[in-house]
Chain A
Amino acid sequence: MPINMIVCCKQVPDPEAPPAVFKVAGNKMTLPADVKPVISPYDENALEAALRIKEKTGGKITALSLGNKLVRDVIKKSLAVGADELILLEDEAFEESDSWSTAYALATAIKKIGQYDLIFCGRQAADWDAGQTGLGIAEILGIPAVSVARKVEVTDGKVRIEQVIPDGYEIVEVALPTLITVTSELGDLRYAALKGIMAAAKKQPTVWKPADIGLEPSQVGAAGRHSKLNKLFQPVKEAKCEIIEGDSPEEAGANLAVKLREAKLL
């Protein structure tokens, strides 16, 4: 049975960029232009989960992203690795969405797509780290959801999921359609093959504005938020690490032990 899959992919500032480049200005996070955005890492894991099912069971993958001025060669990575279609909810009105307005717009777009068996999201996005959107979409659509999956398999119309719990994992079964949020233990997204990159270059994403999914600008983005951002700031850290020296690394190691005793830590 071919499976219709939708993977929600968010474009975010590269979380692996050195901490020093993250600067808050005017209640917004700004990064230098040379730090390229990426697909949020957990969303990449989610895309990998879908690709594995497509390989094994067959099916179609639609990547779905929301934002404004999305960088084409970043977001088209989804096509390059094997997604069949890319839909962008792209408009000024989608800017400054919170978990609520993001999930609401994505769920509305998913209703418009209509056919879906599995929806994949990353467990949380690397910008706001809220971890709400996936479960929120499932609530709005009224479908079951399983969070923090490290393995997903489809057999006989059922999904079998390994869900990470504090000291191990649970094997959970659920019927289709369902939504799954994916964690990093599932594995990294594969590299795009040259053939995939070439094919992706020829494909154009479908772009939907709020009106295309039947929403007013007042229902999306900043206007549709449930939360108010009062303040974005960076706490000042007092960096005062005492570096323990020695004539050799071994001696420095031994001196560290002595130091800890002196500081009464032992």
Chain B
Amino acid sequence: MAENKGILVYGELAGGKLASITTELLGCGRKLADDLKEDLSCLLVSDTVGEASKEAIAFGADRVYTVEDASLKQYQADSYMQVAEKLAKELSPRAILMGQTSIGRDLAPRLAFRLGVDLATDCLELSIDPEAKLLMRTRPVYGGNAQATFSSELMPQITTVRTKAMSPMERDDSRKGEVIPTKVEIDASKIRTKIVETIKEEVAGIKLEDAPVIVTGGRGVGGPEPFKTTLKELADILHGAVGATRPPADNGWVPSAMHIGLTGKIVAPDIYIAVAVSGASQHVAGCSGSKNIIAINKDPEANIFKEAKFGVVGKYEEVVPAFTNKLKEILAG
């Protein structure tokens, strides 16, 4: 068997451009590849890849493999697996990095089991052990109540990385790299699932992932109404978005697209205002990257105060409207 070399980033596209997670993966993949004195490659799969391949080079890739096929317009495990398996075998990289995204979560375990190797999901930190040249992969476990570092001698070492955990490199359009269009014959008879319909649950206003300010309501908010009134008014003043912990989403108070947490969205805004949020580890996992967490909770022992920079102990129904009014006053100048 050929020796496994180099780092391969499994890239994703968003609206024809490189997804932000992919720039983050290239940023950390570049460092790992430099530590190993090996190359960084990026795989891009879609119906048309277009300019994104050049972006991948500008963000750190030495080589970009593009696989284009009309059947790859939408992610489906059985078609995407054909590409991932073929390229993993042909390129035999030392490690494959994927995002802990809806696609990465679904594709990475299948690929690891298909290849008979190991996978570490949802990693926060990656480094190279200088002696064994193995990837040390650190990830949260027990709902964020601990972290664990894993390694494996099986190649490729497949890893998914949490969104916003890594920093992209500065974009440099003068970087040189090679784009290698690669043909993969997709065997349609192997696609066993059929997507009948895709339903978008649009959340009005700014997208959570992009919002500089997020106001999040927890179970303690008590029902669906405050998300549309008290919390929304606060978010609107700060040009922010409204999010929720898991119970409001599971109870149907808000669409699940608003769920922030280990199994929901991962966000890292400048200001994160947690209202009636207890601070369960599973939730904190989704917001701990925020620059400033502000907690409003009637329970002074609530775990969220351990995460917060500023806090108010009190019933949110009383605290938040007064907070909002004062902000209005201050911001009006």
8 A Cβ contacts from B193-228 to A: 193-203
Q: A170-B199, A243-B313, A266-B331 are in contact. Are A253 and B143 (CB under 8 A)?
A: no
Check B118–A227 contact: CB distance below 8 A.
yes
Which of B150, B294, B310, B315 makes the CB contact (< 8 A) with A229?
B150
| Interface residue A167 (Cβ < 8 Å from any Cβ of B) | yes
Does the CB pair B142–A173 fall under 8 Å? no
Would you give the shortest CB distance from B75 to chain A, in whole angstroms? 9
Judged by a CB distance under 8 angstroms, whether A228 is at the interface is yes
- Chain B residue nearest to A24 (CB atoms) is B146
Complex Cα distance A228/B224, Å? 45
Q: Which residues of B contact A205 (CB under 8 A)?
A: none
Evaluate contact between A265 and B270: CB separation under 8 angstroms: yes
A interface, size bucket = 35 or more
Given contacts A131-B105, A167-B200, contact A254 B323 (CB under 8 A): yes
Could you tell me if A249 and B310 are in contact, using CB atoms closer than 8 angstroms? no
Chain A hits for B193, CB < 8 A: 144, 146, 172-174
Give A158's nearest chain B residue, CB to CB. Answer: B194
* Given contacts A140-B113, A144-B78, A233-B147, A266 and B194 within 8 Å (CB-CB): no
Interface residues on B, range: 35 or more
Docked pose: A256 CA to B120 CA in angstroms: 41
Stretch at the interface among A83-91, A122-130, A193-201: A122-130
Across the A-B interface, give the 10 residue pairs with the lowest CB-CB distance, nearest first: A249-B314, A253-B322, A257-B326, A253-B323, A139-B113, A249-B318, A250-B322, A22-B145, A226-B118, A144-B192
Please classify the interface of chain A as helix (H, G, I), strand (E, B), loop, or mixed, using the class held by over half of its residues. Answer: mixed
A231 within 8 A of B: yes
Complex contact B306–A169 (CB within 8 A)? no
Complex interface: chain B residues within 8 A of A219 (CB): none
Q: Is the interface of B mostly helix, strand, loop or mixed?
A: mixed
Q: Does A1 contact B (CB under 8 A)?
A: no
21 A–B contacts from the bound complex (CB under 8 Å): A15-B281, A29-B146, A128-B141, A131-B109, A131-B121, A160-B196, A168-B199, A170-B196, A173-B193, A173-B196, A187-B250, A226-B154, A227-B151, A231-B149, A240-B309, A241-B309, A242-B309, A243-B311, A253-B318, A257-B326, A260-B271
Pair A241/B323 contact, Cβ less than 8 Å? no
C-alpha spacing A191/B147, complex, angstroms: 33
A240 to chain B, nearest CB (A): 8
Query: 15 new A-B pairs (CB below 8 Å) besides A168-B199, A230-B148?
Result: A16-B280, A131-B105, A132-B109, A132-B121, A171-B197, A185-B256, A226-B152, A239-B306, A248-B318, A249-B319, A253-B312, A253-B326, A256-B323, A258-B330, A266-B238
